[in-house]
Amino acid sequence: MVEPPIIALEHIFFSYTEQTPLFADICFAFNRDDKIGFFGPNGKGKTTLFRLIVGLIKPEKGQVLFRGVPVHTENQWRELRCAVGFVLQNADDQLFCPTVLDDVAFGPLNLGLAPDEAKKRALETLKTLGLEGLENRLTHTLSGGEKKLVSLASVMSMRPDALLLDEPTNGLDPEAKARLVAILKNLPTARITISHDWDFLMEISHSFMTINNGKLIDVDSDFFMRPPHIY
């Protein structure tokens, strides 16, 4: 039997204002081995697509399916959010606990793990991402790169089946970026990554897509070799 996609969007219509529809009849499927690079100009709906996927905003028409099942109730959305980890653009919005350990353990605690198991899981996750030693640091004292990696850890500790990464290299210096690339290359988890940094996207993604006129467009990797004349 063919495994259903982790996430499927069917005939999604969405707009913020009545005049300009953002998405007009979008259909999209996201499978276990996909590593998608998502690019395009600002304001065209990339983050909005992520927000639709995790149910922070609801479409006017159409539905979101999680493992083949349409998502309607709050409980179903919660299950989806625990399986599809969303790493936000702004790490300060995501790292809302005072210490790193508290933050990385927050997800596992919500999943129902006992406090000591959650702590163990958090420490393991930090170690996997090469962040051991940071667990007792106060989050507001971290550097930009450390914050970004810890926010990734805080999502990874929930062991999601897929990741949504929103501009993960924003504000990172080359060293922090290299660390992130190394981590993502070794991560088998399915992901969609929004970024303007095409070198970065090329390194960590296998397929690519963009938005134009309210539609998602698949793009092949040759696109990056040609001059970016569309925009």
Partner 1 sequence: MCDTPFLREVPFLCRIDPRFRIVVATAYAIALAAIQNLPAACLGVVFAFALLLLARPNPGATCKRLAIINIFIVFLWITVPLTMGGDSIAALGPFHVSRAGIFLALLVALKCNAIAFVFIALVAPITISVLAHSLERLRFPAKLVFLLLFAYRYIYVIEEEWKRLYTAAKLRGFRPKTNVRTYGVLANMLGMVFVHSFERSARVYEAMQLRGFCGKFRSIALFQSRLRDFVFTGAAAAALGSIILLDIFPGKFHG
Residue 26, strand partner residues: 12
Asked whether position 65 contacts partner 1 by CB under 8 A, the answer is no
Residue 156: CB minimum distance to partner 1, A: 11
Asked whether position 56 contacts partner 1 by CB under 8 A, the answer is yes
Asked whether position 106 contacts partner 1 by CB under 8 A, the answer is yes
Asked whether position 81 contacts partner 1 by CB under 8 A, the answer is yes
Asked whether position 133 contacts partner 1 by CB under 8 A, the answer is no
Site stretch for partner 1 (CB under 8 A), options 29-37, 86-94, 209-217, 222-230? 86-94
Question: Is the Cβ–Cβ distance between 84 and 53 less than 8 Å?
Answer: yes
CA distance 196 to 190: 20
Chain length of the chain: 231
Residue 131: CB minimum distance to partner 1, A: 17
Asked whether position 78 contacts partner 1 by CB under 8 A, the answer is yes
CA distance 51 to 214: 15
Collapsing DSSP states into helix, strand and coil, what is residue 208? strand
- Between residues 24 and 111, which has the closer beta carbon with respect to partner 1? 111
- Between residues 8 and 155, which has the closer beta carbon with respect to partner 1? 155
Rg for the chain, CA atoms, rounded: 18
Sign of CA pseudo-dihedral 189, 179, 95, 113: positive
Q: Which residues of 204-219 are buried (b: 16+ CB within 10 A; e: fewer)?
A: bbeebbbbeebebeeb
Asked whether position 110 contacts partner 1 by CB under 8 A, the answer is yes
**Binding stretches for partner 1 (CB under 8 A):** 54, 56, 78, 81-82, 85-86, 88, 90, 92-94, 96-99, 101-102, 105-107, 109-111, 115-116, 118-119, 122, 138-140, 154-155, 158
